[in-house]
Amino acid sequence: MEVKLSEALSIHDIQKLRKQYEYFVHIRPVYLNDPAEAEAYRRSALPIDELFCRFYKQQTEGAEPSEGLIRLFLTLINENEDSLLKEAAAGRDKA
């Protein structure tokens, strides 16, 4: 298992991971020394609506998106996911 970290794991943390996930062969820490890489990793853990709000603020020089715009964005994301799932299911049916 590869774990991305901004700081080192303690021996206790590594032992705890090994006990919880006995099937792991090796735990390899990957340290995020580059601040941009560390920020990108932290962003990947955020909910999609929060990512959209941050993007909107960046593009509009700090303006907050309205609740209606956020709801519309989430609706579009959900519709896109639904259509992708249907396409994938159709592809499995043909195979």
CA distance 68 to 74: 10
pLDDT in tens, 62-89: 999 999 999 999 998 888 777 766 777 7
pLDDT in tens, 22-58: 777 777 766 666 666 666 666 667 788 988 898 899 8
Is the model's pLDDT at 60 over the cut of 80? yes
CA distance 60 to 75: 21
Tokens of 31: 């340290």
What's the one-letter identity of residue 68?
G
Pick from 4, 62, 8: which is nearest to 30 by CA? 4
DSSP for residue 6:
S
CA distance 57 to 48: 14
Place of tokens 């195979």: 95
